[in-house]
């Protein structure tokens, strides 16, 4: 039997509130970050985000080497303690590292796209310049 476990953490990193979604499925760990704006998010906004816009959230995947998720039942008081501990510390370091890798991948992709666009523009300008030079040489 496989289970999907997810968590939503809302943190304030000035000047914006951010929602960080984490989910685990077997050995897969996925994380996503969404900016909620400068004002404190209302419960209706969060509920609408989870219930109606879940399919628009883009998750970044990373495989987890050793799974810390166990199948046995956890004591309710221990669950409360773990929840309190996760709220105090904010975002786990695993989520921060995964989001940082995602930002680096996006940066490399943007740089590659910008470089290829620049090369294509240069070639286009060169061909246009050559065509104008040939037209001038013809004497028309």
What pLDDT sits at residue 91?
55
> Phi/psi class of residue 91: alpha, beta or left (left: φ > 0; alpha: ψ in -120 to 50)?
beta
Look up residue 93 and give its two tokens: 């370091």
Return the SS3 of 22.
strand
What pLDDT sits at residue 50?
86
What pLDDT sits at residue 64?
43
Q: pTM score, two decimals?
A: 0.49
Query: How does pLDDT run along the chain (140 residues), one tens digit per residue?
Result: 678 888 888 888 888 888 888 888 888 888 888 888 888 989 998 898 888 888 888 888 765 444 444 567 888 888 888 777 766 555 557 777 778 778 888 898 999 999 999 999 999 999 999 999 998 888 75
Sign (positive/negative) of CA torsion 130, 133, 137, 140? positive
What pLDDT sits at residue 122?
97
Residue 31 CB coordination number (10 Å): 23
What pLDDT sits at residue 72?
73
Q: Which parts of 1-140 are beta strand (E)?
A: 4-13, 16-25, 28-37, 60-63
């Amino acid at each position: 039997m496989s289970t999907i476990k997810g968590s939503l953490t809302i943190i304030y990193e000035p000047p914006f509130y951010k929602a960080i979604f984490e989910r685990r499925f077997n050995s897969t760990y996925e994380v996503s970050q969404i900016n909620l704006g400068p004002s404190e998010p209302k419960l209706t906004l969060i509920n609408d985000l989870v219930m109606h816009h879940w399919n628009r959230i883009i998750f970044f995947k990373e495989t987890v080497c050793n799974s810390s998720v166990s199948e046995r039942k956890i004591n309710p008081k221990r669950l409360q303690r773990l929840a309190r501990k996760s709220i105090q510390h904010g975002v786990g370091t695993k989520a921060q590292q995964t989001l940082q890798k995602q930002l680096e991948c996006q940066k490399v992709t943007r740089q590659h796209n910008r470089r290829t666009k620049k090369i294509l523009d240069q070639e286009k300008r060169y061909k246009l310049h050559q065509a104008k030079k040939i037209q001038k040489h013809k004497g028309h």
